[in-house]
Structure 1
Amino acid sequence: MSATRSSRLLPDLSPWRSSRDFRLLFFQGAVTFFTSFMAMIALPLQIKHLTDSPLAVGAMGAVELVPLVVFGLYGGALADAIDRRRMILLSEAGLGVLALVLLVNSLLPNPLLWPLYVVAAGVSALSGLQRPALDSMMARIVPHEQMTAAAALNALRYQIGAIAGPAIAGLVVAYAGYPAAYGITFAGFLLSVLLCTRLAPAPPSPDAERPSLRGIAEGARYAWSRPVLLGTYAVDLAAMFFAFPNTIFPFLADELDAVWALGLMYSAGAVGSLVLGMTSGWTSRVRRHGLFVVFGAAVWGVAIAATGWSTNIWVVLACLAVAGAGDMLSGLGRATIWNQTIPEELRGRLAGIEVLSYSVGPQLGQVRAGTVAGWTGTRSAFWSGGLMCVAAVAALSVTLPKLLTYDADTDEDALRRRAAKEKAAEPLPTPAS
Structure 2
Amino acid sequence: MLADISPLREHADFRRLWFGNGISAIGQQMTAMAVALQVYAITGSSFYVGLVGLCSLVPLIVFGLYGGAVADAVDRRRLGMTTAFGATALSAALAALAILHVHKVWPLYTVVALQAVCFAMNSPARSSMIPRLLPAEKLPAANALASMAGGVEQMAGPMLGGVFVGFWGYQSAYLIDVVAFTASLYAMWRLPAMLPGDDGEPGSGAPAVRRRPSVTEGLRYLAARPNLRTTFISDLAAMVLAQPRVLFPALAALWYGGGSRTVGLLTAATAVGALIGGVFSGWLERVNRQGFAVLIAIASWGAAMTVFGLTHDLLLGLLLLGLAGCADTVSMVFRNTMLQSAAPDDMRGRLQGVFLVVVVGGPRLGDFLAGSASDIFTPTVAIVGGGLACVVAITLIGLLQRSFVRYDARTPVA
**In structure 2, do the counterparts of structure 1 residues 80 and 228 end up closer, same or farther at CA, with 3 Å as the change threshold?**
farther
Measure the CA separation in 1 of the matches of 2:215 and 2:346. Answer: 12
Q: How far off its partner does 1:108 sit?
A: 0.3
> Which residue of the partner structure matches residue 4 of structure 1?
none
**In structure 2, do the counterparts of structure 1 residues 24 and 221 end up closer, same or farther at CA, with 3 Å as the change threshold?**
farther
> What CA deviation, in whole Å up to 9, does each residue of 1:270-294 have, x standing for no partner?
1111111221233345444334432
Q: How far off its partner does 1:22 sit?
A: 4.0
> What CA deviation, in whole Å up to 9, does each residue of 1:283-316 have, x standing for no partner?
3454443344322222211111111011211111
Q: How does 1:16-165 map to 2 (within 5 A)?
A: 16=8, 20-138=12-130, 149-165=141-157
On the 8 A contact 1:306/1:319 being kept in 2, the answer is: yes
> Which residue of the partner structure matches residue 162 of structure 2?
170
Q: How does 1:196-235 map to 2 (within 5 A)?
A: 196-204=188-196, 205=198, 208-212=209-213, 215-235=214-234
> Which residue of the partner structure matches residue 254 of structure 1?
253
Measure the CA separation in 2 of the matches of 1:331 and 1:279. Answer: 14
> What CA deviation, in whole Å up to 9, does each residue of 1:66-125 have, x standing for no partner?
111110111122123223333222211111111011011111044442210001111111
**In structure 2, do the counterparts of structure 1 residues 77 and 320 end up closer, same or farther at CA, with 3 Å as the change threshold?**
same
Q: How far off its partner does 1:21 sit?
A: 4.7
Q: How far off its partner does 1:210 sit?
A: 3.5
What amino acid does structure 1 have at the position aligned with 2:351?
L
Q: How far off its partner does 1:194 sit?
A: 0.6
**In structure 2, do the counterparts of structure 1 residues 406 and 136 end up closer, same or farther at CA, with 3 Å as the change threshold?**
farther
On the 8 A contact 1:288/1:404 being kept in 2, the answer is: yes
What amino acid does structure 2 have at the position aligned with 1:373?
S
> Which residue of the partner structure matches residue 402 of structure 1?
403
Measure the CA separation in 1 of the matches of 2:50 and 2:2. Answer: 38
Q: How far off its partner does 1:144 sit?
A: 6.0
> What CA deviation, in whole Å up to 9, does each residue of 1:203-257 have, x standing for no partner?
2235734444xx1111111222222211111111111000111111011111212
Q: How far off its partner does 1:376 sit?
A: 0.6
Moved more, 255-264 or 377-386: 255-264
> What CA deviation, in whole Å up to 9, does each residue of 1:30-56 have, x standing for no partner?
112211111011001001111111111
**In structure 2, do the counterparts of structure 1 residues 304 and 345 end up closer, same or farther at CA, with 3 Å as the change threshold?**
same
> Which residue of the partner structure matches residue 328 of structure 1?
329
> Which residue of the partner structure matches residue 425 of structure 1?
none
Q: What secondary structure sits across from 2:331 in the alignment?
A: helix
What amino acid does structure 2 have at the position aligned with 1:251?
A
Q: What secondary structure sits across from 1:244 in the alignment?
A: coil
**In structure 2, do the counterparts of structure 1 residues 290 and 77 end up closer, same or farther at CA, with 3 Å as the change threshold?**
same
On the 8 A contact 2:195/2:208 being kept in 1, the answer is: no
Q: How does 1:244-283 map to 2 (within 5 A)?
A: 244-256=243-255, 257-259=257-259, 260-283=261-284
> Which residue of the partner structure matches residue 417 of structure 1?
none
Q: How far off its partner does 1:366 sit?
A: 0.7
Measure the CA separation in 1 of the matches of 2:12 and 2:209. Answer: 26
What amino acid does structure 2 have at the position aligned with 1:232?
T
On the 8 A contact 1:288/1:405 being kept in 2, the answer is: yes
What amino acid does structure 2 have at the position aligned with 1:336?
T
Q: What secondary structure sits across from 2:380 in the alignment?
A: helix
Q: How far off its partner does 1:369 sit?
A: 0.4
Measure the CA separation in 1 of the matches of 2:227 and 2:195. Answer: 29
> Which consecutive residues of structure 2, in runs of 5 or more, have no partner in the other structure?
199-206
> Which residue of the partner structure matches residue 237 of structure 2?
238
Moved more, 74-83 or 57-66: 74-83
On the 8 A contact 1:80/1:347 being kept in 2, the answer is: no
What amino acid does structure 2 have at the position aligned with 1:167?
M
On the 8 A contact 2:338/2:412 being kept in 1, the answer is: no
Q: How far off its partner does 1:14 sit?
A: 5.5
Measure the CA separation in 2 of the matches of 1:246 and 1:355. Answer: 19
What amino acid does structure 1 have at the position aligned with 2:252?
A
On the 8 A contact 1:11/1:281 being kept in 2, the answer is: no
On the 8 A contact 1:132/1:349 being kept in 2, the answer is: no
Measure the CA separation in 2 of the matches of 1:305 and 1:181. Answer: 32
Measure the CA separation in 1 of the matches of 2:25 and 2:101. Answer: 29
On the 8 A contact 1:136/1:347 being kept in 2, the answer is: no
> Which consecutive residues of structure 1, in runs of 5 or more, have no partner in the other structure?
1-8, 414-433
Moved more, 74-83 or 308-317: 74-83
Percent of paired sites with the same residue:
36
TM-score by length of 1: 0.86
Moved more, 316-325 or 153-162: 153-162
Measure the CA separation in 2 of the matches of 1:298 and 1:285. Answer: 21
Measure the CA separation in 2 of the matches of 1:18 and 1:402. Answer: 41
> Which residue of the partner structure matches residue 180 of structure 2?
188
What is the number of residues matched between the two proteins?
403
Measure the CA separation in 2 of the matches of 1:401 and 1:150. Answer: 33
> Which residue of the partner structure matches residue 309 of structure 1?
310
Moved more, 20-29 or 315-324: 20-29
Measure the CA separation in 1 of the matches of 2:59 and 2:307. Answer: 33
